[in-house]
Amino acid sequence: MGCRDVHAATVLAFLSGTASVAGLLAAVLLPNWRQMRLYTFNKNERNVTVYTGLWIKCARFDGSRDCVIYDPQWYTAVDQLDLRVLQFALPLSMLTAVSALFLCLIGMCNTAFVSSVPNVKLAKCLVNSAGCHLVAGLLFLLACAICLTPSIWVIFYNNYLNRKYEPVFSFDISVFIAIASAGGLFFTSILLFLWYCACKSLPSPFWQPLYSHAPSMHSYASQPYSARSRLSAIEIDIPVVTHAS
């Protein structure tokens, strides 16, 4: 594939990265990281489920969608270590992924709208499309690690809470959304790495633009020695001798 053209790999990577960031945003905002179900043996009362998010906490009776207790200041008094870590990890992962999307967009715009024959004097200062996608892939991979590690830790910490207190805790849908978003970030980084590997065969240095110098300069390159060696010694070395009359 030609890496000077915007093709399906980079477009699919950009769309996948955008969807993953949207999933992370939903996981951050939803109050569904952990459920604590409280049972009652009184037939005149209903069981209560406490939904715990990163920023708010909501308690509901079974069969009701209204919050009996709504705590919008929960983020300041989080007493669960895994949720406290997620308060910092997920926004950091989102910021890293948005930076990667910005770099990916710069690389796509550069390949689509910049002339394929740059000025010789400015060639080494141009935006390197392959380099942009490579750095974007690394940032997507970093965002995946920042998001995935604490999200999986929620599952193990939930088992720890059940052993320490009572088996009333369970992880909720936000855990699955965060893990799926991390998988989307990993898939995006793989696509960009594949794109970069396809471009690596071009005759350009690792961090230089796709044209490290103008293409016209290639036409004046000297022939390799193997081509010159096929000429006979007579054609190369014997001087021309003229005789006077």
12 within some domain: yes
Instruction: State the residue range of the domain holding 185.
Output: 6-31+78-112+125-199
DSSP string, 93-124: HHHHHHHHHHHHHHHHHHHHHS-SS--TTTGG
pLDDT of 88 higher than 50: yes
Supply the pLDDT for residue 3: 57
Query: Residue 62, SS3?
Result: coil
- pLDDT per position as a tens digit, 192-210: 888 877 766 555 444 444 4
Are 73 and 54 a contacting pair, CB within 8 Å? no
Supply the pLDDT for residue 170: 85
Mark 127-160 as b/e (b = at least 16 C-beta within 10 Å). ebbbbbbbbbbbbbbbbbebbbebbebbeebbee
230 within some domain: no
Q: Mean per-residue pLDDT for 117-146? A: 73
Q: Please provide the distance, in angstroms rounded to a whole number, between the alpha carbons at the two ends of the chain.
A: 67
d(CA 130, CA 117): 16
Supply the pLDDT for residue 220: 36
236 within some domain: no
Which is more confident, 90 or 70? Answer: 90
- pLDDT per position as a tens digit, 136-185: 999 999 999 999 999 999 988 888 888 888 787 888 899 999 999 999 99
Supply the pLDDT for residue 227: 45
Q: Which amino acid is at 40?
A: T
Which is more confident, 227 or 179? Answer: 179
132 within some domain: yes
Q: Mean per-residue pLDDT for 117-142? A: 69
Q: What is the number of domains present in the chain?
A: 1
In this prediction, residue 31 has a pLDDT band, given cuts at 50, 70 and 90, of confident
156 within some domain: yes
Question: How big is the CA angle at 124 (ends 122 and 125), to the nearest 5 degrees?
Answer: 65
Q: What are 67's two structure tokens?
A: 């919050």
Supply the pLDDT for residue 144: 95
pLDDT of 4 higher than 60: no
Supply the pLDDT for residue 47: 79
216 within some domain: no
209 within some domain: no
d(CA 227, CA 212): 26
Q: Mean per-residue pLDDT for 203-219? A: 44
Supply the pLDDT for residue 142: 95
d(CA 62, CA 130): 54
Least-confidence region, from 20-34, 43-57, 101-115: 101-115
69 within some domain: no
* Of residues 112, 115, 179, the one with CA closest to residue 149: 179
Are 188 and 13 a contacting pair, CB within 8 Å? yes
In this prediction, residue 114 has a pLDDT band, given cuts at 50, 70 and 90, of low
